[in-house]
Amino acid sequence: MTSSSIHTFDLDATEPQAVRKGGNRTIINASNFPMLKGMAVYLLRLERGGIREPHWHPNAAELSFCVRGRALVTIFGPDASLDTFTVEQGEIVFVPRGYIHHIENIGMEDVKFVLAFNHETPEDLGISGSLGSMPSRILDETFSPGSNIFSQLNRGSAEDILIGSRDVRQLSLGSTDESSRNIPNRHKFNLDGVPPQIQTAGGTVSLGNASNFPILNGLACYSLFLRAKGIREPHWHPNAAELDYVVEGRAKMIILSPGGTVDSFEVGAGEIVFIPPGYLHYIENYDTEKVTHFVVFFGHERPEDIGISGSLSAYSNEVLAAIFNTDLVLFDSLVRHDEDVFIISGGA
């Protein structure tokens, strides 16, 4: 499905820019999705035994959501901090800017990750290109003076390999501790595994922000499930852009931009939607039977939220009547909300 909106892009249907033995990577940034500002998104698919090479992003932090599969992640940072842990479906992983990290498929099925960045054109540097850019003599002296290990490697290229692949015969042994248990870590959070903080008849929202995932900086992620006819009320985020990925289902959205431009469109599984900070928008699952699942990334670790229900309730009948040039009695029956409704059940 292709949407005509400038706010949307079909991530899953886009041909990957990098295809290697072991997997592929699709990049959506400001160069092919001009609407993006302050955020970008990648789609990473790893086959069994596939490895996204150790790499880092000089200008952006990374927050990834595991859509499918089981992976091993290693992150190395300042002060020799070393974190190795497993990641499974529904979990999110945060990597600070400049920290080297890898993703390795240790499961029996393909792995799929959606990765969000807090920069519209994130930069990449990998370990393979790094070795290729430095003189072998310097590397040999750094690791083992007098040896010629890196001279024999003969890499000779500053271009990254990006994705590698392990021998699947080794994987069949399945003897590593990492593949047999779920390893906790400060860099990951089980977003879909915790009780949703927001639960209504219309759906649920699990919040992954700095309040419950303290390592986050510059990014956050929510998991939104809208039940049949469920509606995410019209709202906006004063301090953060929003980048949505549709995991499953189909929904209608409307975005109001400054100047009175109203963009109404539909999105389905595999598509992304970008909403700049402060733009009014809503999401509606108009299906009468199926649930729609959105993974919602934000360009701030503590995204703020203002809904139309709380906003309208904040003002008197006199103010509303004057603005809409109508009798104030019309607003006597308006239900006042001390806080936003957030999710509505549209099944009535």
Would you place residue 55 in the very low, low, confident or very high pLDDT band (cuts 50, 70, 90)? very high
Least confident range from 163-172, 295-304, 308-317: namely 163-172
In Å, what is the CA distance from 178 to each residue of 19, 80, 267? 27, 21, 37
* Sign of the CA dihedral with 187 first, then 190, 196, and 198 last: positive
Q: How many CB atoms are located within 10 Å of the residue 173 CB?
A: 8
CA atoms within 13 A on the CB side of 37: 7
Taking the C-alpha atoms of residue 73 and residue 66, their distance in angstroms, rounded to an integer, is 12
On whether the 8-188 domain is CATH 2.60.120.10, my answer is yes
Q: Is pLDDT above 80 for 320?
A: yes
Range 216-243 average pLDDT: 98
> What single-letter amino acid sits at 106?
I
Q: Domain 193-345, what fold?
A: Jelly Rolls (2.60.120)
Range 186-194 average pLDDT: 97
Taking the C-alpha atoms of residue 180 and residue 173, their distance in angstroms, rounded to an integer, is 12
At 141-184, the pLDDT tens digits run 999 898 889 988 877 899 999 999 998 776 654 445 555 689 99
* Domain definitions of the chain by residue range: 8-188, 193-345
Domain 8-188 matches domain 193-345 at the CATH topology level: yes
Range 80-90 average pLDDT: 98
At 7-32, the pLDDT tens digits run 999 999 999 999 999 999 999 999 99
The DSSP result for 266-324, as a single string, is EEETTEEEEE-TT-EEEEE---SS--EEEEEEESSSS---EEHHHHHHTS-HHHHHHHH
Taking the C-alpha atoms of residue 208 and residue 197, their distance in angstroms, rounded to an integer, is 10
State the average pLDDT for the chain: 94
Q: Output phi, psi for 178, to 5 deg.
A: -60, -30
pLDDT score, position 51: 98
pLDDT score, position 154: 74
User: Percent of the chain having pLDDT more than 70?
Assistant: 95
Three-state helix/strand/coil letters over 64-101: EEEEECEEEEEEEEHHHEEEEEEEECCCEEEECCCCEE
Distance of CA 36 to the CA centre of its chain: 14
Q: Is pLDDT above 60 for 297?
A: yes
Taking the C-alpha atoms of residue 63 and residue 213, their distance in angstroms, rounded to an integer, is 12
